[in-house]
Amino acid sequence: MKKLLFSLFTFNFLLLTFNWQSVLAQTSLGLSAIPPRLEIKDAHPGSIVTKEIKVRNESRVQRLITLSIKDIIVKDDSGTPIVLEDITSNENRWAASAWIQASQTSLRLNPGETKALLLTVLVPDDALPGGHYAAVFYTGQDLASLDQTGSAVEANVGTILYITVPGEVKEAARVVDFSAPRFSEYGPIPFQAVIENLSDIHIKPLGQIAITDMFGHRLPDVPLPETNIFPYVSRTLLATLPNKWLFGRYRAQLQAGYGSAGNALIATLSFWVIPWRLIILILAIIAILITLGYLLRNPPKPTNPRADRLEKELETLKRKYRDRK
């Protein structure tokens, strides 16, 4: 019974995890959102912006697709969008769902079919400068299952909208942490950079990690992954120096730019790479070779016990003869 309960709990947990992680995936249970992310820049107050988006049925069954538009925010370090229910723009200065209208709220898709629809963004006259965010969700129902059983399994995918209202905005960010293993025996060397966005708008830091060895020679730069960081959220960027054979002390400097003014993010660290086991092995081999060379150049003299005994007796007789004189 305990094993059965544990198995059911594990299955339900994995099912919930899968469904949540696939909410904004590009492809989930046979649906594709095209594009998965849409940036709308220069959305001036009072303007009207129209964009085309598409949804594709990747499955082998006909689907009924319904649309919903929700406000989202990101609070965690992994960038997981959180849907905000019943939140107005007065309560969330980054809300944008109330601005967006879709040309269709439902559509039928045959297997392999792609359909386009228009999104119209009506920017309010009093829209605050900075970033505003929402997501268009597609909920797909299997019509065959619906016809047979009266119920359907729903699959959600979505397009995240990044809307930028121009104007005077705060653009600031900082490197909270930049780290790598202080000592390694071999590469590759993993780097981790935690960047906190303190802006009124999302940022996408662009840059690399510059690495120099103890002689000042520069290794190939390690590019930083490109990712959007929502306002007042920290994200962890991971990068790796792929070289395996390294030796000595190295200096790594994170160099990235962000924002419309090209603001800079800089952080520095040092690390050591010493293949100590390989060094011990090489020293042991060298010691063995030196010992063998010495023995080959200076072979030990062969010993003869009888000759040594006769030589000792001869020396004794010589001493006796000298004493008699």
The domain ranges of the chain are: 22-165, 173-273
CA 19 – CA 14 distance, rounded (Å):
9
Same fold, 22-165 and 173-273: yes
Three-state DSSP class for residue 154: strand
Task: Say yes or no to pLDDT of 6 above 60.
Answer: no
Three-state DSSP class for residue 289: helix
Q: How far is CA 7 from CA 1, 4, 11, 17, in A?
A: 10, 5, 6, 15
Peptide bond into 81 cis (omega under 30): no
Expressed in angstroms, the distance from the first to the final Cα of the chain is 111
In DSSP notation, 78-112 reads T--EEEESS--TTT-TTB-GGGEEES-SEEEE-TT
- The rounded Cα 43 to chain-centroid distance in angstroms is 31
Under the banding of pLDDT at 50, 70 and 90, the label for residue 315 is confident
Three-state DSSP class for residue 234: strand
Under the banding of pLDDT at 50, 70 and 90, the label for residue 197 is very high
Under the banding of pLDDT at 50, 70 and 90, the label for residue 90 is low
- Mean pLDDT over 125-136 rounds to 91
Reported as a single tens digit per residue, the pLDDT across 209-228 is: 999 999 999 999 999 999 88
CATH number listed for the domain at residues 22-165: 2.60.40.10
Which helix (DSSP H) or strand (DSSP E) does residue 31 occupy?
strand 31-34
Task: Say yes or no to pLDDT of 286 above 60.
Answer: yes
Which helix (DSSP H) or strand (DSSP E) does residue 164 occupy?
strand 154-165
Give the chain's mean pLDDT: 82
Task: Say yes or no to pLDDT of 270 above 90.
Answer: yes
Cβ atoms of 70 and 23 closer than 8 Å = no
Radius of gyration over every alpha carbon of the chain, rounded to an integer in angstroms: 36
Domain topology for 173-273 = Immunoglobulin-like (2.60.40)
Cβ atoms of 173 and 263 closer than 8 Å = yes
